[in-house]
């Protein structure tokens, strides 16, 4: 395990940045359905259905997956993460 630490430059900062990113996405994914529900209940938008919730969460997971893959490729190419 110690050998891998030396191969990747600034592994501690990189790990902290990636964990911070994932925690931020988790919080966002938690609050988006609540926000959509509140918006629909107070009448700002009339037709928010279950499919809207599923699409919104699916899009966020898709963005998360894309950023995860991009950052993995950037790390492998010894570039900074996004």
Please check the confidence at residue 79 and state whether its pLDDT lies above 80: no
* Coil, helix or strand at residue 82: coil
Q: What are the pLDDT digits (tens) for 16-36?
A: 887 888 888 888 888 887 887
Q: What's the whole-number mean pLDDT along residues 37-43?
A: 78
Backbone angles phi, psi at 77, to 5 degrees: -90, 10
| Residue entry with tokens 């926000």 | 35
What does the pLDDT read at residue 16? Answer: 83
3-state secondary structure of 8: coil
Helix, coil or strand: residue 70: helix
Rounded mean pLDDT, 54-82: 82
SS3 content of the chain, % helix, strand, coil (to 5): 80, 0, 20
Question: Hey, which bits of the chain come out as E strands?
Answer: none
**Confidence (pLDDT) at 66:** 92
């Amino acid at each position: 395990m110690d050998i891998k630490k030396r191969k990747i430059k600034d592994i501690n900062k990189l790990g902290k940045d990636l964990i911070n990113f994932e925690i931020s996405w988790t919080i966002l994914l938690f609050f988006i359905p609540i926000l959509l529900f509140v918006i629909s209940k107070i009448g700002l938008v009339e037709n928010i259905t279950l499919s809207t919730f599923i699409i919104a969460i699916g899009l966020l997971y898709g963005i998360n997956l894309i950023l995860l893959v991009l950052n993995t490729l950037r790390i492998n190419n010894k570039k900074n993460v996004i």
